[in-house]
Structure 1
Amino acid sequence: MKHLLNLLAAIALLVWGTHLVRVGVLRVFGANLRSLLARSMGNRFTAALSGIGVTALVQSSTATSLMTASFVGQGLIALPAALAVMRGADIGTALMAVLFSTDLSWLSPLFIFVGVVLYLSRQETTSGRVGRVLIGLGLMLLALERVTQATEPMMASPITHVVLESMGSDVFAEILIGAVLAIVSYSSLAVVLLIAAMADTSVVPLDMALGMVLGANLGNGLTAMLTMAKSSVEVRQVTVGNMVFKLMGVVLMAPFIDGWIRFVQPHLPATSHSVVLFHLAYNIIISVGFIGLTQWVAHVITRLLPPLDPAKNPLRPHHLDPSALATPSLAISCAAREALHQADLVETMLNGLKTVWQTDDQRLAAELRAMDDQVDSLYSAIKYYMTKISRSSLDENEGRRWTEIISFTINMEQIGDLVERVLQDVEDKKIKKGRKFSHAGLQEINEMHDHLVANLRLAMSVFLTSNARDAQKLLEEKTRFRELELAYSATHLNRLADNTIQSIETSSLHIDIISDLKRINSLLCSVAYPVLEANASIRPLQSQGEAAAPQGERQ
């Protein structure tokens, strides 16, 4: 019992060390790795190479799958390119298994010592996060050594021999065991290393170990599918397509287990090398041999899982991928994408507002006011998603981006409320009473509206790109908009003085619309402030009294 407990503890330590390395690398290099993946999508071969590199660093093809699937979900890359990345990711995991199968136990105390010193002394910095990665590497090496020590006495137990003999050489049972272990541990790398260590100490025979390796690869694919089961269809297409390749590989490689033992094993120095090299051979075959099938598999998966039309359910968030929360930089990107979706709905409301006051379309006004509920729903979804991102895992730039997204979504929600109020006023004070704006008055509010829509699009661009020049231009538009408001308020008063009937009847509505459009514009222009402050570009505006305004006046 004691030896079994020692083995379970060693397995748990191996899984935990793998988790520390995966999370640590993603937190330190997550944004750079995502950028590397995004730049390598020119063809399937460079995509596969990037998958190898990223997975070798992260030590988890599942993590690479999450990042790649999120790109597909956001419409940034096509499904065939994502499947090509996964072909490389599987090779990357297998290469790391080969590396860790060598005797690196002497590095374990060094990694743990240096990692703990860095983590405790500089916990909130990049050095501290690198220290966390080193701790994970050290624990993985220590765990592999402990697995070997724990399995030696277990092999002497007669119970072990009875269990192994009862299983016989049922390849399906071996594949099932390997798959279950990979799902439970959330790491095919940890399971393959465990199988290699157990095979090296003869706890499991080699043929059984190779069958379990095939199962571990299937379990890795199933883990990604289960993790993303509630994600968008585009995201699930990647995991299902990856699983198709893994199944084809198992079907192809399972009959050759005996051949591997007969012809390859005699030329290898140790049983553990045979296990990890079989794992590498499996992944090279399904990656290199099947990479030409990515287009065909993508076509089949698209037929089986057709993407939904976002317009049919605008209330549902399109980009808030729950699986991305494990990678803060990726989750922030998803939230920013959803914030732009929210802004698109606001733009639709704003464009419809002009149509309503020009055509007196009461039905359209009701539809647009109902759309504000969708804007509010997206705001709540984004806010809840953002609260689940670990702030302690964000660097300075990511922390600033987190704040910008929250501020942007709040502003969009407030703009939606203002547009809804203007629509209600137009219905109550104009449509229901059968009143009309004067020709000059209608031209004025139309011109202000056109400026406002242009500023909304500029604000969305500033939010997306953080371009200081565009931010400066947005603040200049705030000054221009204020001048328009003052000029049109004066001309409206002149029309009242001339006893223009239409202007008198709609005077209150006209003034309210001008005022509300100005408030909306102020909310849009507030997007520029954090960008200019981050780029130290706010100083030129302070001399004009713009940036020196109280925070309340900015909005």
Structure 2
Amino acid sequence: MPQELSLTTMALMLLGGMGLLLYGISVMSEGLQKIAGHRLRQIFSAVTDRPFLGLVAGAVVTILFQSSTATTVILVGLAAASVVTLRQCLPVILGADIGTTVTAQLIALKVTEISLPIVGVGALIVFFSKKDRYRRVGQAVIGFGLLFLGLKIMGDAMAPLRYSAVLKEALLGVSSSPLLAILIAAIFTFLVHSSAAALGVIVVLASQGLIDTLAAFYFILGANVGSSFTAVFSSLGSHREAQRVAAAHVLAKVGGTFLVFPFAVPFVNWLTSVTSSPSFQVANAHTLFNVFVTCAFFPLRNFGARALERLLPEKKIPDFEPRYLNEALLDTPSIALGLAYREVARLSAEVLRMFRDVDRVLRFNKYDLTERMIYKENVVNTLFSKATAYITLLLRRPLSRREFEKGMGLIKVLNDLELISDIISKNIVPQLQQKIRERIIFSSTGWEELSMIYQEVCLMMRLTHKALVRADYCLAEQAIKLHPRVLKLERGLRSTHIYRLREGIKETEASSRLHLELLNAYVRIAEHLRNIALTVAGELTAERVCPPEPPLLEEEPEEENAVRIEAL
């Protein structure tokens, strides 16, 4: 019975230690997300054009988040959102692999022995700091301490097992079959979604004498392969570029494993001759393996990118699928928020194109264009729903106050954009179709007036769209100031139209209903544009200082605007 109790206690300690380890990684990651998460996207976007800086960024971010898997999943999401390309991601992935080696080295240096003081320091920072920034630093320190506390508890639980002949025989059976050891470690790493956790367990097993260094090395190879599986699953059903990034990570790990596997025995013999500490032998094996993979594949990154582009050719994105949203990145809220912003900006551009089509139909009587506008409205309505659902899920994640306000602002913008698209498809398009079917012609004055107010609303829409894309307070203010001008113009044009009706002008009488419906629709669109501009100015911009007389957008060439909007 005592023996059974002892085994139960050891099992509970192992389970609790693993729980603390994973929870520590989660707490530390969440704290770091709140501190610098909003800069991650800018960091990756800035350094990916410089391969060596990409290596450093990948290593540093992975050291902070204690997971190359998390770094790779972030890159997969950014690639899916067209923020970075495959060629830009490869150095960061290789750098992330080097970053994972730090955890094993810290364990070998006995950092686990000071895990409780680290937790204590973090707790003091959290409970005695009044500023949120310092509290987040404390949260990250607590997570770091819990990570190593979990490893210490697991090590203490495994200490008596070194005398267990049954366990030693079972581990010997696994380690004597290298491929089985690699497979088991790969599956375990994939299940816990953390290479740092898997490596911690391997170091603990080796330090307690439960496995020798050769068996530990095979487990390390499996852990490295398993760390790449999560990114593969997060890329399934995503864009080709994201799938290429995930495939590149898998190929680098598997390729490195194949290259070093035949030399495992002499390599381990050399490691044991360098140091007698099992912990350092395992940590050094992991470090040297990942350095070797980086050195082997870094010069081949462009060739590898070209090969993957041929193996995984580009595929067309379905109309009803978002271009930038990626649910795998909801666990990295700051980056997910940036991608949601890009999706909202893209939908704003789509609505702007729909409104421009109104003028083309009025001028050239293109009935097929009205049918395309209805189809596009169905597409954007679906995308509006998906974007709103995505941001709603995002708002449930840990966000700073500023990020939460941005998320709420994006939902407001989506709501007004959807109402504008509804006005175009349900109020304007039926009138345009009736105009074409019944061959309605405006009077020359009526046409000039409709063109005049259309241009004003179009300018307001372009200003609002640019303000949204650039998060520009000044452009938003210009759009807001245009709204009273549109209202005043509409009242005047409605009066002049009624005056022409009194004169009995034939074209005016025939087009009266269409004319007034268009005026009414334009005013309603302007109201929603004002709402969007107010949201941009109040919730989506940081700097709220404008020059005395900012230039109006209408001074820019129309062709340049069209190109810029298409580039979104």
* TM-score w.r.t. length of structure 1: 0.91
Q: For structure 1, list consecutive stretches of 5 or more residues without a partner in the other structure.
A: 542-555
The C-alpha deviation readout for 1:350-392, integer Å capped at 9, x for no partner, is: 1222222233333321221232211211111011111211446
Q: 1:87 to 1:135 in 2, by over 3 A?
A: same
- Cα distance in 1 for partners of 2:118, 2:482 equals 55
Instruction: Summarize the Cα distance change of 1:123–1:341 in structure 2 as closer, same or farther, 3 Å threshold.
Output: farther
Report the counterpart of residue 560 of structure 2 in structure 1: none
Instruction: Find the aligned partners of 2:24 and 2:153 in 1 and give their Cα distance.
Output: 13
| 1:193 match | 200
* Pairing of 1:101-180 with structure 2 (within 5 A): 101-119=108-126, 125-167=132-174, 169-180=176-187
The question of 1:23 aligning with 2:30 is answered yes
> Against the structure 1 CA distance between its residues 442 and 121, is the aligned structure 2 distance closer, same or farther, given a 3 Å change threshold?
farther
The 5 Å alignment of 1:25-104 reads 25-104=32-111
CA deviations 1:391-421 (Å, max 9, x no partner) are 4611122112111110111011000100012
- Of 276, 297, 306 in structure 1, the residue corresponding to residue 283 of structure 2 is 276
- Give the stretch that moved more between structures: 200-209 or 225-234: 225-234
Give the aligned residue type for 1:216. A
C-alpha separation between the residues in 1 aligned to 2:79 and 2:487? 42
- Contact 1:179/1:218 (8 A) holds in 2: yes
**Structure 1 pair 485–461 and aligned structure 2 pair: CA distance change class (3 A):** same
Q: 1:500 to 1:398 in 2, by over 3 A?
A: same
SS of 2:82's equivalent in the other structure is coil
Measure how far apart 1:168 and its partner are.
5.2
Equivalent residue pairs, number: 538
Between 1:488-497 and 1:18-27, the stretch displaced more is 488-497
Structure 1 residue identity aligned to 2:238: S
**Partner in structure 1 of residue 496 of structure 2:** 491
Q: Residues 1-33 of structure 1: CA distance to partner in whole angstroms, max 9, x if unpaired? A: 323443233233222222222232223211122
Residue 270 of structure 2 aligns with an amino acid whose one-letter code is F
SS of the aligned residue for 1:81 comes to helix
| Pairing of 1:367-378 with structure 2 (within 5 A) | 367-378=372-383
Name the SS of the counterpart of 2:211 in structure 1: coil
1:549 matched residue in structure 2: none
Q: Would you say 1:448 and 2:486 are equivalent positions?
A: no
Sort the Cα spacing of 1:363 and 1:181 in 2 relative to 1 into closer, same or farther, 3 A.
Answer: same
Between the aligned partners of 1:291 and 1:91, the Cα distance in structure 2 is: 12
Structure 2 counterpart of 1:399, from 387, 399, 404: 404
Report deviation, 1:194: 1.2
Deviations along 1:201-229, whole A, 9 cap, x unmatched?
Answer: 11112111000001000000012212332
Relative to structure 1, the CA distance from residue 290 to residue 536 in structure 2 (aligned partners, 3 Å threshold; closer, same or farther) is closer
The alpha-carbon deviation at position 96 of structure 1 amounts to 3.1
Gap runs ≥5 in structure 2 = 1-6, 550-568
State the one-letter code of the partner of 2:219: M
Amino acid of the structure 2 residue aligned with 1:29: A
Percentage of matched positions with identical amino acids? 25
One-letter code of the match for 2:247? V
Match for 2:243 among 236, 250, 253?
236
1:301: how far off? 1.7
Q: TM-score, normalised by structure 2?
A: 0.89
> Bigger CA drift: 516-525 or 68-77?
68-77
Moved more, 518-527 or 206-215: 518-527
Task: Check whether the contact 1:169–1:207 (CA below 8 A) recurs between aligned residues.
Answer: no
- Which of 313, 337, 343 is the equivalent residue of 2:342? 337
| Corresponding position of 1:551 | none
Greater displacement, 349-358 / 84-93 = 349-358
8 Å contact from structure 2 (residues 76, 231) kept in 1? no
C-alpha contact (below 8 Å) 1:349/1:419 kept by paired residues: yes
The answer to whether 1:9 aligns with 2:16 is: yes
**Structure 2 counterpart of 1:34, one-letter code:** R
CA contact (8 A) 1:123 1:129 kept: no
- The alpha carbon displacement at 1:99 in A equals 2.3
Amino acid at match of 1:507: S
Change (3 A) 1:489 1:384: same
